[in-house]
Structure 1
Amino acid sequence: MNKTISINLGGFFFHIDEDAFSKLTRYLDAVKRSLSPEGREEIIKDIESRIAELFQEKIKNEKQVIGSKEVDDMIVIMGQPEDYKIDDEPKNSFNNSNYNYSNNGGTKKLYRDKDNSIIGGVLSGVSQYIGIDPIWLRIFMAILLVFFGTGFFIYIILWIIIPEAKTTTQKLEMRGMPINITNIEKKVKEGIDDITSKISDIDTEKMMYNARNSSQRVGSTIEDIFTTILKIIGKLLGGFIVLVTSVSLIGLLIGTIFMFFSSTLDHVHMPWNEYLRASNYTDFPMWILYIFSFFAAAIPIFFFFILGLKLLVNNVKSIGSYAKYSLLGLWILSIVFLVYFGLRQASEVSRESKVVEKREIILTPNDTLKINMKYNDFYTKSVYRKTDFKFVVDEKDKEIIYSNNVKIHLMKTDETKTYIQIEKVANGSSYNDAKERAKNIVYNFDIQGNIINLDNYLITDRNNKFRDQEVHIYIYIPKGTVIFPNETISDYLTNHNSDIDMYYGRENHYYKLIDGDFECLDCPEEIENNKWNSDEDNNVEIKINGQDIINSETEIKTINVDENGISIQTKNKK
C-alpha cells in the first residue's frame, strides 16, 4: 500500500502516490539540470503548467490518485530531458520573427495574439490559426469597416468570444507546435531574446512602442467595458431564467401531486377526472400518465434552471455525470411512453362506422312538412344549449354521457316520397368496434303525420367513453314539397353534406322546394318580393308586390319622382 501525497502543480492540487511522486520529482530535477540558467525559472513554471494540464486530462474525478502510469504517459508526451538539445534554429522557425505559419505536428487552437497585436490581437491570432499574414486580414477588415460598416461589429464579437493566449502553452497551441520541453524552452528563450533585442533598439522603436501601447490600452478598456456589459446582461438573464424555471418547476410539482392523488384516491372526486378518463381510450392508469408527463416537462426546465444558476452565480458545482445521464435517460423514457400513448390513443379512434335507420314520412299533396326540435328538461332547460359531451345522471341514477352533437341535413330526392334517415356515428379501433359503439348511442325521434319531432341530444353509457359520437339526420324532400322549419332547429341545421342550400330567411315561415332551392312563400315583401335581378343581356327586372313591372320584354321610357311617389312609363321592346 503506497502513501498518498497532496501536491500543488501549476496551480492545481493533485493526489499522487509516493512512487509516482518520486518519479515526477526526479523528472523535474533532470529537466532543471538540462536547462541553461537563462530563463530557467520561467521555463520550469510553464513545464509544470503543461504537466498539470496533462494530469487534468487523465483524472476522472477529484479523488483519483495520480499513479506511475500517469507519470509515464506524461513523460512520453513531454519527452526525456536528455533527448533534447537546443541548437541554432533556422530563420523561419522560432526565431525573432513574429509569425510561424507552419504546423509542426501539434494541434492548433484559436487564441488572440496580444504579443503582436495592434488593438486586441484578434486578427493576428486568426492569422496564426489559418496560416496567412495578418496584414491581409487587416486590409479585409478595413474594407468591411469602410464600405459595409460591419467590420467593427465582427471584430468586437470575435474579441469577446476568442480567448487571449497568455501562457506559454497557449502560445504554442496557437502556433500548432507540440507542447514539450524543447518547444517550451524555445518559446521562453524567444521571448527573452525578443525583449533583449527591443531593449537594444529602444531608441529606434520608442515611437512605435508608445503607439502600440496606447492602442492596446484603448483596446483593453473597450474590452473591459464590453465584458462588464455582457456580465451584467448574463446576470440579468440568469436571474430571469432562474425565476421563471423555479416557478414553473414548483407549479408542475404541485399540479402533478394534486392530480396524482385526485386520480388514485377513491373518495376524492374531481370533475375533470371524469373527462380525462372519458378521453383516455387506452385504459392506462391516469397517475402513470401524470408522472411521465411531469418528467417530460420538468427535466428540460430543470436543466434550464441549472443554466440560469450558472449565469447568475459563479463557480456553481456541477450535478455530476451520473445525475445528468440518469435525468436524460428518464426524460427519454418519458418521451417514449408519451409517444406510445399518443399512438395508442390515435389507433383507438382511427376507424369510423355508423348504424342507419330509415323511416318514410306519409304526406298528402296539400300537406306541409313540419320539423321541430325538442329537448328533455331532465338534462337541460333549453333547446338552444349545446355541449359536445358531459357526464350526467339519468332518471335511474345511472351515469351516462350526454351530448348535443346532432346535425340536420336537408336533402333533395327524385323520389315522390319524403323520408328521414338517422345515422348514428362513432369512432373505434376497428370498424366493428366503431359500429358497436354507434349501436350503443340512444337517440329518439317520432313522426306524427306530417310532423317530425327530433331530440336535440344523444346519450350513451359512460363505459363507451367519448368517441366522437354524433347523430346525423338526413331529411329527403321531393320537388314541390312545402316545409315549415320551426325556429328550434336553427342551431342544428348544417350545409355540410347537404345537397340543398339552407333556406334564406327566418324560421317559422313556409318554404317550397323548387329546382333544388327553397323559395319562401310567406316572407315579408321587402325581403323576398322586392328583387333586382340581372340577366345575361344586362336587362333590368323589377318586381313590386310579386308582379312584373319591368322585365326583359320591356324598356323604361321615363321615371318621375314627386310627392305622390315614383311613376315609371315603359314600352315593349320591338
Structure 2
Amino acid sequence: MLSLVFIFSLIITGISSFIALSFSNFFIRVAGPESSIISFAGIVSAYLIIGIPVLLLIAFFIRIAFKVKVRPEVNFTAWTIWFIALFFVFYAGTMTAVDFKKQQSIIKKSEFSIPDNSIYIGEMSYDFLPEYYPDYIKSPFKIYNDSLYVKYVDVQYFESDSPFVTIEQEFFARGMNDKKAIQNINKIQSSFLVNGNKINILPFIRMPKNSKWRNQGIKYKIYIPKGKNVIFEYDENHAKPFEIDLMEK
C-alpha cells in the first residue's frame, strides 16, 4: 500500500511539474509548430520520454524494496507509450524545422539631413521596457498589449561620403517556402525616430500576439557622413538594448 501511495505521489508531482513547466516555457509557445495541437502533443511527448524511464526505474527499486509484483503488461504498455512519444517529438520537430527552410528579406531606406557634428544613437523608450529589463537576458520574447515583442535587432553603422544620414532597415524571416517567409516578414513592425540629431531605435520587433517566431528580425544599417561624431546613449543601469558596431564598407 505504501509503495502505491508513493507511486501515485510521483505521478501527481510529475503532472503538476509538467503543467507548470509547459506553460512557463515561453520559447516553445512562440517558436513551436504552427498547430497548437501538434505543439501540445510534442511538449507532452517530450516529458513522457524523460518521465517514463524515470518512473520505471523508481518502480523497479520499489518492487525490490517492498516485494511488489508488477505485471509484464505494465512495462510493455509503458515502453509502447514511450516509443509513440518519441515519434511525436520527432514529428513536431520536423514540422517546426520545415517552417525554417527558406529565408527572405525586404530592405527599406530613409534619408535624413542632420547638420549637427554629433549624432546620438540610442533606444526608443517604451512602456514595458523598465519592467522587462530584469528578464532581459532570460528570454528574448515578451507579450504586451496584444503584441509579441522579440529582442532581435542588430544595429551597424558605416562612414559614408554622402552628406545625408541614411537608415537602411533589412527585415528578414524564414518560412516553409519563399511566399510564407515574405508573409512572416510582413508581420514585423519596427520603429525608429529621428529627432534633431538623435536617432532612437526600438530594440524589439513587434508582431501580432499569436504570431509564431520564424527567425523574424531586423538589421539596421546607419550610414553616417564622414567627420561626424557618433555617440551612443543607453541607461548604464540596464543591459545594452543592442550592440552597435562600426563596419567597413
Query: Structure 1 length as normaliser, TM-score?
Result: 0.36
| TM-superposed deviation, 1:279 | 3.0
Aligned to 1:345: 96
Distance in 2 between residues matched to 1:304 and 1:347, nearest whole Å = 36
Aligned to 1:443: 190
| TM-superposed deviation, 1:304 | 1.3
Aligned to 1:295: 48
| TM-superposed deviation, 1:318 | 4.5
| TM-superposed deviation, 1:324 | 3.2
Query: Structure 2 length as normaliser, TM-score?
Result: 0.75
Amino acid at match of 1:346: A
- C-alpha change, 1:244 and 1:313, in structure 2 (3 Å) is closer
| TM-superposed deviation, 1:431 | 3.2
Q: Does 1:482 align with 2:233?
A: no
| TM-superposed deviation, 1:447 | 2.8
Distance in 2 between residues matched to 1:243 and 1:413, nearest whole Å = 73
Could you tell me which of 324, 329, 347 is aligned with 2:75? 324
Q: Does 1:359 align with 2:84?
A: no
Instruction: Describe how 1:205-244 pairs up with structure 2 within 5 A.
Output: none
What is the DSSP-based 3-state SS (H/G/I as helix, E as strand, rest coil) of the residue aligned with 2:55? helix
Could you tell me which of 381, 397, 401 is aligned with 2:148? 401
Could you tell me which of 473, 482, 494 is aligned with 2:220? 473
Amino acid at match of 1:492: P
Could you tell me which of 112, 119, 123 is aligned with 1:373? 123
- C-alpha change, 1:253 and 1:403, in structure 2 (3 Å) is closer
- C-alpha change, 1:308 and 1:381, in structure 2 (3 Å) is closer
| TM-superposed deviation, 1:476 | 1.6
Amino acid at match of 1:440: K
What is the DSSP-based 3-state SS (H/G/I as helix, E as strand, rest coil) of the residue aligned with 2:183? helix
Structure 1 vs Structure 2: percent identity of aligned residues?
A: 18
The gaps in structure 1 that reach 5 residues or longer are 1-241, 264-270, 394-398, 501-515, 517-574
Aligned to 1:277: 29
Aligned to 1:389: 141
| Greater C-alpha Rg | 1
Aligned to 1:491: 240
Contact 1:375 1:383 in 2 (8 A): no
| TM-superposed deviation, 1:283 | 0.9
The gaps in structure 2 that reach 5 residues or longer are none
- C-alpha change, 1:248 and 1:345, in structure 2 (3 Å) is farther
Contact 2:117 2:227 in 1 (8 A): no
Distance in 2 between residues matched to 1:443 and 1:305, nearest whole Å = 51
CA deviations 1:74-122 (Å, max 9, x no partner) are xxxxxxxxxxxxxxxxxxxxxxxxxxxxxxxxxxxxxxxxxxxxxxxxx
Contact 1:375 1:457 in 2 (8 A): no
Distance in 2 between residues matched to 1:404 and 1:306, nearest whole Å = 45
Q: Does 1:410 align with 2:157?
A: yes
- C-alpha change, 1:412 and 1:382, in structure 2 (3 Å) is farther
- C-alpha change, 1:476 and 1:243, in structure 2 (3 Å) is farther
Distance in 2 between residues matched to 1:383 and 1:289, nearest whole Å = 29
Distance in 2 between residues matched to 1:462 and 1:440, nearest whole Å = 10
Normalized per residue, which structure has more helix? 1
- C-alpha change, 1:488 and 1:427, in structure 2 (3 Å) is farther
Query: RMSD of aligned C-alpha atoms?
Result: 3.7
Q: How many residues align?
A: 239
Aligned to 1:539: none
What is the DSSP-based 3-state SS (H/G/I as helix, E as strand, rest coil) of the residue aligned with 2:140? coil
Aligned to 1:308: 61
Amino acid at match of 2:202: D
What is the DSSP-based 3-state SS (H/G/I as helix, E as strand, rest coil) of the residue aligned with 2:76? helix
Aligned to 1:333: 84
- C-alpha change, 1:382 and 1:357, in structure 2 (3 Å) is farther
| TM-superposed deviation, 1:383 | 9.7
